[in-house]
């Protein structure tokens, strides 16, 4: 039976994370699997809460779960890299790594469905689940890679343009069958260890957002497909740690990640063109809103913030690409961490 490592990343949501861990452990039943729970330098007592629960709760006794602490909060990708590098408790590498958000709750067979799919489809490097909300509403989690054309289509919101560019939007809509996609949201995604050994882990220059897009693009360029697996069901609350649902303004780290993604993967000139296309579409949309006397649906100052940020980024050198090397498993991987 293949060996599986489940990684759960916590940031200031200890109680919800523990609930997610309990769901994951139930879904791991019958599999050769271990779970590593990473506290991403929460600084709010989360580590102590989870440590006490794992030491005293009946459900945790004898469970294949470890708790470690990241030395600093480097973001979503960096925190998951800590868990992946930790490997199995005996110092060995798993065959597969499964990432589960702290606010996601897999059905009893959800993890097994992903594992079975990857075992049957060697062309697939990654596989992700069908995600739905607390009320049962399905979430869009399967996507195309961003491009200059998706920037235009997404910002202009004009029927004739959308029909012309119907194969370009990043969201693929609600998919009702298992199929290859460009990339998947990272709430519930399983990855071959051999693919991570080939392409490296998450690029830690991304603090939050675009990191899974970048990882799937690197896998695709190395010849590994990403598959959406409809039979794997996971409930996801969404944006609990990030607070995205209550954003009143797009944060700088989202703008940083977007610019870095385009610049790193397509070049600075392409990143500039992506911003130009988004600006053209955004101005057209705002003109329509003005004429029709309805408020724009973007967060306040979004277009201005995007343009100012990217103009400043044009004259700054790109950061060094901090793509994590192939993970080193075993006790040495946890050096400097707290178990």
φ, ψ for residue 223 (rounded to 5)?
95, 15
Sorted by where each begins, the domain ranges of the chain are 3-245+320-334, 252-314
Task: Provide the pLDDT confidence category of residue 299 given band limits of 50, 70 and 90.
Answer: confident
Task: Provide the pLDDT confidence category of residue 318 given band limits of 50, 70 and 90.
Answer: confident
pLDDT at 324: 55
CA–CA gap between residue 99 and residue 105 (Å, rounded): 12
Is pLDDT of 281 > 80?
Answer: yes
CA–CA gap between residue 12 and residue 40 (Å, rounded): 8
**Per-residue CA distances from 173 to 36, 138, 231 (Å):** 32, 10, 17
Contact call for residues 271 and 262 (beta carbons, < 8 A): yes
CA–CA gap between residue 157 and residue 167 (Å, rounded): 15
Angle at 201 between CA 325 and CA 177, to 5 degrees: 155
CA–CA gap between residue 96 and residue 21 (Å, rounded): 18
Q: Which fold has domain 3-245+320-334?
A: Spore Coat Polysaccharide Biosynthesis Protein SpsA; Chain A (3.90.550)
Contact call for residues 68 and 338 (beta carbons, < 8 A): yes
Task: Provide the pLDDT confidence category of residue 335 given band limits of 50, 70 and 90.
Answer: very low
φ, ψ for residue 38 (rounded to 5)?
-110, 120
pLDDT in tens, 168-224: 999 999 999 999 999 999 999 999 999 999 999 999 999 999 999 999 999 999 999
Compute the average pLDDT of residues 327-336: 33
pLDDT at 101: 96
pLDDT at 331: 31
pLDDT at 339: 30
pLDDT at 9: 97
Q: 87-91, 92-96, 233-237, 324-328 — which is least confidently predicted?
A: 324-328
Three-class SS state of 296:
coil
Percent of the chain with pLDDT over 90: 86
Is pLDDT of 95 > 50?
Answer: yes
Is pLDDT of 325 > 80?
Answer: no
Region label for 262, one of left (φ > 0), alpha (ψ between -120 and 50) or beta (otherwise): alpha
Is pLDDT of 157 > 90?
Answer: yes
pLDDT in tens, 221-244: 999 999 999 999 999 997 554 445
CA–CA gap between residue 302 and residue 161 (Å, rounded): 22
pLDDT at 244: 53
DSSP string, 193-256: HHHHHHH-S-BTT-SSSSHHHHHHHHHHHTT-EEEEEEEEEEEE--STTT-GGG-SS--HHHHH
Compute the average pLDDT of residues 315-335: 52
CA–CA gap between residue 257 and residue 183 (Å, rounded): 16
**Closest by Cα among 68, 91, 55, 86 to 10:** 68
Is pLDDT of 66 > 90?
Answer: yes
pLDDT in tens, 112-152: 999 999 999 999 999 999 999 999 999 999 999 999 999 99
Q: Is 332 exposed, middle or buried (0-12, 13-18, 19+ CB in 10 A)?
A: exposed
pLDDT at 326: 40
pLDDT at 337: 30
Angle at 216 between CA 213 and CA 218, to 5 degrees: 110
Compute the average pLDDT of residues 88-106: 96
φ, ψ for residue 117 (rounded to 5)?
-65, -45
């Amino acid at each position: 039976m293949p060996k599986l490592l489940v990684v759960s990343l916590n940031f200031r949501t200890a109680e919800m994370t523990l609930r997610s861990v309990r769901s994951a452990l139930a879904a791991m039943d019958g599999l050769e699997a271990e779970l590593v729970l990473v506290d991403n330098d929460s600084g709010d007592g989360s580590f102590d809460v989870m440590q006490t629960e794992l030491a005293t709760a009946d459900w945790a006794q004898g469970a294949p779960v470890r708790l470690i602490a990241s030395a600093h909060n480097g973001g979503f990708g960096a925190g998951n890299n800590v868990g992946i590098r930790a490997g199995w408790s005996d110092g060995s590498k798993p065959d597969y790594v499964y990432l589960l958000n702290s606010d996601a709750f897999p059905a009893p067979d959800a993890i097994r469905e992903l594992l079975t799919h990857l075992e049957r489809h060697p062309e697939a490097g990654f596989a992700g689940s069908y995600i739905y909300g607390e009320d049962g509403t399905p979430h869009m989690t399967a996507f195309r890679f961003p491009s200059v054309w998706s920037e235009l289509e997404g910002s202009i919101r004009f029927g004739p343009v959308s029909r012309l560019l119907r194969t370009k939007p990043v969201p693929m809509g609600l998919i009702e069958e298992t199929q290859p996609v460009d990339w998947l949201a990272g709430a519930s995604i399983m990855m071959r260890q051999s693919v991570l050994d080939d392409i490296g882990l998450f690029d830690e220059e991304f603090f939050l957002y675009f990191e899974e897009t970048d990882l799937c693009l690197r896998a695709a360029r190395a010849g590994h497909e990403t598959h959406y697996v409809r039979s794997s069901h996971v409930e996801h609350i969404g944006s609990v740690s990030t607070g995205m649902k209550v954003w009143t303004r797009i944060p700088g780290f989202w703008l940083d990640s977007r610019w870095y993604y385009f610049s790193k993967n397509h070049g600075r000139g392409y990143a500039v063109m992506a911003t130009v296309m988004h600006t053209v579409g955004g101005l057209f949309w705002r003109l329509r809103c003005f004429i029709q006397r309805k408020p724009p649906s973007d967060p306040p100052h979004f277009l201005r913030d995007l343009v100012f940020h990217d103009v400043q980024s044009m004259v700054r050198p790109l950061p060094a690409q901090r793509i994590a090397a192939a993970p080193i498993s075993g006790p040495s991987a946890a050096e400097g961490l707290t178990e």
